[in-house]
Amino acid sequence: MAEQTTTIVIFGASGDLTTKKLAPALADLYAKGRLAPEVQIVGVARSEMNAQEFSASFYDGFGPAAHFPPAPETWQDFSRRIHCCYGDVLAPDGLDGLERTLAAVESPDKPANRLYYLALAPSLFAPAALAMGRAGYQQENGCWRRLVVEKPFGIDLNTAMELNRVIHSVFAEHQVYRIDHYLGKETVQNLLVFRFANAIFEPLWSRNYIDNIQITVAESVSIADRAAYYDNAGVLRDMFQSHLLQLLAVVAMEPPSTFEADTLRNEKVKVLESVRRIPSQDAAACVVQGQYDGYLDEPGVPPGSRTPTYAALRLDVDNWRWQGVPFYLRSGKALTNKRTEVLIQFRRPPHLIFPQGPSGDITSNTLSICLQPNEGVHLEFQAKAPDSTLDLRPVNLEFNYEDSFGGQEIPDAYERLLLDALNGDASLFIRSDEIEQSWSIIDPLIHGLSQPPTRPPEIYDPGTEGPYAADDFLARDGRAWLGKCIGG
Ligand code: NDP
């Protein structure tokens, strides 16, 4: 095969995602020597931008691994690979400038692999794919061509299916890399390693030993200036359809036979298929909705908006492994702290031979998988308090990422995902059927909750754990939220 070169084309080069995430991730990958030697980076946007302005965010993005600031010769070598051009994915001849830039930076003698990254507003994903199709950018003649699509992928099942249809009219599924950056987090990958590289937990990982599973994605920030997006989305679209259901799938999936993209994703799809659908008419009874006090005063939020900024719900996975084990999912904005955690609460011992404490109960074992910010795994179990007759106390076995790996930097998820996309490893990207399954779980809930006379979301104070109704919701099942990971 002829020697190949690789070009990374970023649509949305002047945007927030490129500046804050993609440029630093690419700079770090370059500094670590993980980009192909001949790599070229081309940014596309409608704004007037010169290569110097565009490269500034790459310069600033050189992280600790590159010993900021980069050595002059390092920067010289890297910056000569950074280019930008005018492009408008909505205009008929909107990719002409890109075509000229590609002709200038790619060698005519070597086939050029291309990674196209859509760092664009979601409404532009389909037009961008079609524009690339008209220019023949998907054609793989002796090289590869891949498309990375950001989230959100659709706003409901129909729009997601339509977006899949449009994208598939240009790119084949094996060329499409749909991002949920949660999957690029080291700790989410560690969850896979924890489950499938250790023999001791897997026999316990089922209804036989697990009482319930709680998945929390909490944010301390408010919606700030994102009302235009958020008020139409709400927490169910923003968080549940993607991050929370992906975490559920990773926790609940069967062991795949290999760590290859399709075997892994087949297992995730099976879990999502097994999630019991909650019909629209039951949504109000099955979902707790909240809205933080002050949401209506945020700039751009329409008066009287009922958009939920918090939700908690119970899902059941109808298969042999999980029958009867509730998965409680919750997420919200303006909460006590920022944290993502998966808590596995095991069943209580079937018969207690020890006298019980004053509260008349002992806590059952809990495995806490803390995904951020204090990444680690903690197993809580009972121990005998010293110098007591038989006083039992919960204690922890702890694994802490930072301590165990000598404070080694945890790279940003985008670094891992960009590298995987360049290497053609789609394991941590979402397949079209996963997206559609996820929407088919969430759609009826959103629909049901929008129907009058559904109660408006309960108002909760910012800086709390959300609405009181979420506690009552679990109390109805005789349980409580556990919250064992410490947030940031
Ligand atoms: P921005 O609005 O900051 O950037 C959008 C980019 O698109 C700009 O560079 C804009 O440049 C370009 N653009 C707009 N219209 C066109 C057009 N017709 N043709 C070509 N380029 C165009 O958005 P973000 O960077 O915040 O988000 C991008 C995507 O990433 C979204 O889908 C978002 O949901 C997703 N995302 C963003 C995150 C973030 O941290 N920002 C996190 C996770 C996901 P110009 O106007 O100059 O053309």
> What single-letter DSSP state applies at residue 453?
T
- Ligand 1 centroid to Cα of residue 463, in Å, is 30
Measured from the CA of 127, which atom of ligand 1 is nearest? 18
Q: What is the pLDDT of residues 333-343, one digit of tens each?
A: 999 999 999 99
Closest residue to atom 38 of ligand 1, CA basis = 17
Pocket residue to mutate for ligand 1, from 19, 44, 120, most atoms within 8 A of Cβ: 120
Residue 222 has pLDDT above 80, yes or no: yes
15 lines ligand 1 (CB under 6 A): yes
- Ligand 1 centroid to Cα of residue 121, in Å, is 5
Q: Please classify residue 236 by burial: count the beta carbons closer than 10 Å to its beta carbon, then call 0-12 exposed, 13-18 middle and 19+ buried.
A: buried
Confidence band, pLDDT 50/70/90 cuts, at residue 65: low
pTM of the complete model beyond 0.75: yes
89 lines ligand 1 (CB under 6 A): yes
Phi, psi of 190 (to 5 degrees): -65, -30
Sheet containing 326-332, strands listed edge to edge, beginning at the edge strand earlier in sequence: 392-400, 376-384, 366-372, 339-346, 210-218, 326-332, 310-316, 287-292, 458-460
Pocket residue to mutate for ligand 1, from 44, 46, 98, 178, most atoms within 8 A of Cβ: 46
For residue 462, whether the previous peptide bond is cis, meaning omega lies within 30 degrees of 0, is no
90 lines ligand 1 (CB under 6 A): yes
120 lines ligand 1 (CB under 6 A): yes
Closest residue to atom 10 of ligand 1, CA basis = 12
Q: Which of 83, 181, 243, 378 is catalytic?
A: 243
Secondary structure class of 293 (helix, strand, coil): coil
Tokens of 145: 């061509």
Q: What is the pLDDT of residue 304?
A: 94
Closest residue to atom 21 of ligand 1, CA basis = 45
Residue 279 vs residues 285, 288, 328, 331, 436: alpha-carbon distances, Å: 11, 15, 17, 21, 17
Closest residue to atom 26 of ligand 1, CA basis = 16
Residue 344 has pLDDT above 70, yes or no: yes
pLDDT, mean of residues 216-234:
95
- The residues, any chain, with a CB within 8 Å of residue 338's CB and separated by 6 or more, are 218, 219, 220, 221, 372, 373, 487, 488
480 lines ligand 1 (CB under 6 A): no
Burial 268-279 (b: 16+ CB within 10 A, else e): bbbbbebbeebe
Tokens of 312: 């908690």
- Ligand 1 centroid to Cα of residue 14, in Å, is 8
Confidence band, pLDDT 50/70/90 cuts, at residue 57: confident
**CA nearest 393: which of 385, 403, 405?**
385
**CA nearest 9: which of 35, 43, 36?**
43
Q: What is the pLDDT of residue 359?
A: 59
Q: Helices then strands (H, E): number in the chain?
A: 16, 15
**243 in active site:** yes
- Ligand 1 centroid to Cα of residue 17, in Å, is 7
- Ligand 1 centroid to Cα of residue 337, in Å, is 28
121 lines ligand 1 (CB under 6 A): yes
Pairing between β-strand 392-400 and β-strand 376-384 as defined by DSSP bridges: antiparallel
Q: Look at the chain and count its residues.
A: 488
Q: Are 317 and 275 in contact (CB under 8 A)?
A: yes
**Distance in angstroms (rounded) separating the CA atoms of residues 393 and 400:** 22
Q: Are 32 and 422 in contact (CB under 8 A)?
A: no
127 lines ligand 1 (CB under 6 A): no
Query: Which residues share a beta bridge with 5?
Result: 112
Q: Which residue has the tokens 């970023």?
A: 10
- Ligand 1 centroid to Cα of residue 20, in Å, is 12
Closest residue to atom 13 of ligand 1, CA basis = 12
**Distance in angstroms (rounded) separating the CA atoms of residues 147 and 127:** 13
**Distance in angstroms (rounded) separating the CA atoms of residues 234 and 211:** 30
- Ligand 1 centroid to Cα of residue 113, in Å, is 24
Q: What is the pLDDT of residues 427-449, one digit of tens each?
A: 999 999 999 999 999 999 999 99
CB atoms within 10 A of CB 371: 24
Measured from the CA of 13, which atom of ligand 1 is nearest? 9
Angle at 97 between CA 61 and CA 152, to 5 degrees: 55
Average pLDDT, the chain: 93
Q: What is the pLDDT of residues 349-408, one digit of tens each?
A: 888 888 776 655 678 999 999 998 888 999 999 888 888 878 888 899 999 888 888 777
Which homologous superfamily does the CATH classification assign to the domain defined by 5-150? NAD(P)-binding Rossmann-like Domain (3.40.50.720)
Tokens of 10: 């970023």
Measured from the CA of 125, which atom of ligand 1 is nearest? 32
Q: What is the pLDDT of residues 277-293, one digit of tens each?
A: 999 999 999 999 999 99
180 lines ligand 1 (CB under 6 A): no
183-408+431-475 fold? Dihydrodipicolinate Reductase; domain 2 (3.30.360)
- Ligand 1 centroid to Cα of residue 37, in Å, is 28
Task: Give the helix/strand (H/E) hosting 338.
Answer: none
Query: Cα 398 to chain center, whole Å?
Result: 25
> What single-letter DSSP state applies at residue 143?
S
Query: Cα 54 to chain center, whole Å?
Result: 27
Portions of the chain given CATH number 3.30.360.10: 183-408+431-475
Helices (H), 406-480: 413-423, 432-449, 468-475
20 lines ligand 1 (CB under 6 A): yes
Q: What is the pLDDT of residues 306-342, one digit of tens each?
A: 999 999 999 999 999 999 999 999 999 999 999 999 9
Query: Cα 98 to chain center, whole Å?
Result: 30
16 lines ligand 1 (CB under 6 A): yes
- Ligand 1 centroid to Cα of residue 171, in Å, is 21
Tokens of 463: 């800086």
- The residues, any chain, with a CB within 8 Å of residue 252's CB and separated by 6 or more, are 213, 271, 317, 321, 322, 327
Burial 74-100 (b: 16+ CB within 10 A, else e): bbeebbebbbbbbbbbeeeebbeebee
Higher pLDDT, 469 or 384: 469
Secondary structure class of 48 (helix, strand, coil): coil
Q: Are 241 and 444 in contact (CB under 8 A)?
A: no
Q: What is the pLDDT of residue 357?
A: 66
Portions of the chain given CATH number 3.40.50.720: 5-150
Q: What is the pLDDT of residue 64?
A: 64
